[in-house]
Amino acid sequence: MDLVRNLLGSTIGKKLLMAATGLVLIAFVTGHLVGNLQVFENPDRINGYAHFLQSLGPALWAVRVFLLACAAIHIWAGTVLALEDRKARGDEPYAVHKWIDAAVSSRYMRWTGFVVLAFILYHIAQFTVGAAQPATFKENIGHYTMTSDYRVMGLTVVRAGTEVLDVRSMVILGFRRRVVALFYMVAVGLLSLHLLHGADSLFQTLGVRSHRWERGLKAVVAVFCAAYFLGNLAIPCAALLGYLH
């Protein structure tokens, strides 16, 4: 209980919570992108991947609840830290360059976090629960018969001949709705900017960043965030332009 109280009550505790949940969420969004990019391969890939995840049943929902809890804790800690920082500053005016740095690095971080959380909830409603899909959309989604085995780490988890939900068509038809595609592009753009600054803060909190490594770490993070954004951007763009059928 003392550990929990210290984490929730101290500034360093909140920063550690942000760093820990941030690492979990970075791992998730990276894995999520790798899984989604299978849409450019044979339909067996992403359909088998989706069927395998769904076959996990309660374990999959446990992971989803855990990830949503991490996102909620991350946003809560960031918001509280921002309010505490504002309270400690009082009405002391900023120099122009300091205000610009604050605006880019922290003032809008919590707002991008809220937008990303809204996107995650909508994404679950659209592709997981199906509650955000129009009736005509659902009528066009059928099933797909696997033509080859789907393997994870060399183990067959979905066998050829298995009838699975046609998730590939669901993704393509979903992103052919321009409003959905645009919302997705904006959300992943904001998330990429969030990661760009968040990783820098994460390294500082964990004590990894130093003068010697700072420039190299920033370059690695910048390349990662650019690759993440472009990878996510490729899917709705390919669907809208008709490259995915």
- List the one residue out of 31, 34, 26 whose CA is nearest residue 70: 26
The domain that contains 171 carries what CATH number? 1.20.1300
Domain carrying residue 123: 2-240
Report if residue 227 sits inside a domain.
yes
Whether 244 contacts 238, CB under 8 Å: yes
pTM: 0.80
Report if residue 245 sits inside a domain.
no
Report if residue 190 sits inside a domain.
yes
Give residue-wise pLDDT tens across range 134-161.
555 555 567 889 999 999 888 999 999 9
- List the one residue out of 57, 59, 56 whose CA is nearest residue 67: 59
Report if residue 32 sits inside a domain.
yes
Give residue-wise pLDDT tens across range 214-229.
777 888 888 999 999 9
What's the total number of domains in the chain?
A: 1
Residue 108 CA, chain-centre distance (Å), reads 18
